[in-house]
Amino acid sequence: MSTPKSLPEDARARIAELRVAIDQVDEELVTLISRRAELARGIGALKGGPEGIAFVPARERAVINHALSVNRGPLPNDAIRGIFLQVIASCRNLEQPVTVAYLGPEFTFSHHAALLRFGETAILSAADSVGEVIDLVEHGKAHYGVVPIENSTEGVVRETLDALYRCSLNIADEMSVPVRHSLYGEGALDEVTTVYSHPQALAQCRNWLARTLPRVQTQPTSSTARAAELASTTSNAAAICQALAAERYSLNLLADRIEDSPYNRTRFCVVGQAMSQPSGGDKTSIVFSVKHQAGALIHALAVLEQHGINLTLIESRPTKEMPWQYLFYVDFQGHVHDPKITAALDAMREHCLFLRVFGSYPEADAR
């Protein structure tokens, strides 16, 4: 980065001094990160064997919370959290490379979520469906899977709920990722005549498009990544897509933060073979069914209220095995190893035909 020649000589000299100091700090950072990596590798060596996969959400949460507790600025906590997620992921993958399947294609929100949680050194594999992600993990072709489970404006992802019911995996972790939409293209904003994107992204930017580009034609695509590809080969076209996709197809930023709701977020869950250990701020996901009779559902849910357990989600889905029989998916705060939760689930089973715990894991909103 060059220094403007218009600056006074004393300012230019001071900038040069500060850059030398930054270079020295960067060297210290590399040394400390390398030292941390060696310590992490030592832990991995002590664990050994196939159980040495070092993804421990409760421990990682404790590490990040400790870092946030000593942060005195000027970087905000979100920036510190992002930095430590990448450091932890890099050290984890040094112990043993982690293979992660995610709902593809590349350069989508699911890809972005997988990168956020497991870092760029993980071995990422795009799958064509949520079911394929689950299959890859169940059959040992991936250590973990990352799939969307709920959007704050669109509701639950039913495909994910159905896939979880059919599999034997556990939810090991969750992430709450802000949905940020931007418009990318090759030309200028006032030259755009067509906007490509996934139907959900188009819907989430409907008001901005109507206000800013009222005469533009919108074209739905199978993914935001596909939208970027089309925008790169079509005259006067743009795409609502991720920065990763825009970079891949050499598109320029035309407008940033065009989503209609600034509060839109998507929950992604990490699925794996093992359940996470308690972290002190956990969430548990279960699925159950009850008899088709008056009051059956109320009696089952009343158990949670009687034990002072806070529900965060409830959703019903057809069993697809018998007509008019439903499964109920419930999330609540707490871990299955907590005595209160154990007692509540034992009591709840007395009112259920079937009950299964999908997993207990650190709650994203508690981080």
Report yes or no on 1 lying in a domain: no
Predicted TM-score (pTM) of the model is: 0.83
Report yes or no on 141 lying in a domain: yes
Q: How many CA atoms lie within 13 A of 337 on its CB side?
A: 11
C-beta of residue 261 within 8 angstroms of C-beta of residue 216: no
| Per-residue pLDDT tens over the stretch 205-241 | 999 999 999 999 999 998 999 999 999 999 999 999 9
| Per-residue pLDDT tens over the stretch 6-26 | 788 888 899 999 999 999 999
Report yes or no on 320 lying in a domain: yes
57 and 28 fall within a common domain: yes
Report yes or no on 4 lying in a domain: no
281 and 362 fall within a common domain: yes
| Per-residue pLDDT tens over the stretch 262-301 | 888 999 999 999 989 999 999 999 999 998 888 899 999 9
The pLDDT, as a whole number, for residue 367 is 42
Confidence band, pLDDT 50/70/90 cuts, at residue 146: very high
Joined together, the tokens standing for residue 171 give 């939810």
Query: By C-alpha distance, which of 329, 326, 324, 332 is closest to 360?
Result: 332
Report yes or no on 79 lying in a domain: yes
189 and 170 fall within a common domain: no
Report yes or no on 3 lying in a domain: no
Q: What is the CATH number of the domain that holds 163?
A: 3.40.190.10
C-beta of residue 359 within 8 angstroms of C-beta of residue 284: yes
340 and 353 fall within a common domain: yes
Query: Which has more pLDDT, 4 or 307?
Result: 307
Report yes or no on 2 lying in a domain: no
| Per-residue pLDDT tens over the stretch 163-211 | 999 999 999 999 999 999 999 999 999 999 999 999 989 999 999 999 9
The pLDDT, as a whole number, for residue 192 is 97
| Per-residue pLDDT tens over the stretch 317-342 | 998 777 778 899 999 999 999 999 99
86 and 162 fall within a common domain: no
Q: What is the CATH number of the domain that holds 49?
A: 1.20.59.10
Task: Show the domain range for 308.
Answer: 277-366
Where among 224, 255, 286 does a domain terminate?
A: 255
Report yes or no on 322 lying in a domain: yes
Q: Is 72 helix (H, G, I), strand (E, B) or coil?
A: coil
Q: What is the mean pLDDT of the chain?
A: 91
Query: Which has more pLDDT, 324 or 120?
Result: 120
CA dihedral 23, 25, 26, 29 (to 10 degrees): 160
Residue 47: pLDDT over 90: no
C-beta of residue 112 within 8 angstroms of C-beta of residue 227: no
The pLDDT, as a whole number, for residue 44 is 76
Where among 224, 246, 271 does a domain terminate?
A: 271
The pLDDT, as a whole number, for residue 8 is 87
Residue 366: pLDDT over 50: no
204 and 161 fall within a common domain: no
Confidence band, pLDDT 50/70/90 cuts, at residue 50: very low
C-beta of residue 3 within 8 angstroms of C-beta of residue 15: yes
Confidence band, pLDDT 50/70/90 cuts, at residue 56: confident
| Per-residue pLDDT tens over the stretch 148-165 | 999 988 889 999 999 999
The pLDDT, as a whole number, for residue 294 is 85
Q: What is the CATH number of the domain that holds 343?
A: 3.30.70.260
Q: Is 359 helix (H, G, I), strand (E, B) or coil?
A: strand
The pLDDT, as a whole number, for residue 31 is 97
Residue 1: pLDDT over 70: no
Active site (catalytic) residues:
266, 268
Q: What are phi and psi of 356, to 5 degrees?
A: -135, 140
Residue 361: pLDDT over 60: yes
CB atoms inside a 10 Å sphere around CB 260: 16
Number of domains in the chain: 4
Where among 237, 271, 305 does a domain terminate?
A: 271
Q: Look at phi and psi of residue 91 and say left if phi exceeds 0, alpha if psi is from -120 to 50, else beta.
A: alpha
20 and 85 fall within a common domain: yes
Q: Measuring CA to CA, how many Å separate 15 from each of 2, 27, 28, 271?
A: 10, 18, 20, 48
Single-letter residue type at 362: P
Return the percentage of the chain with pLDDT > 70, whole number. 96
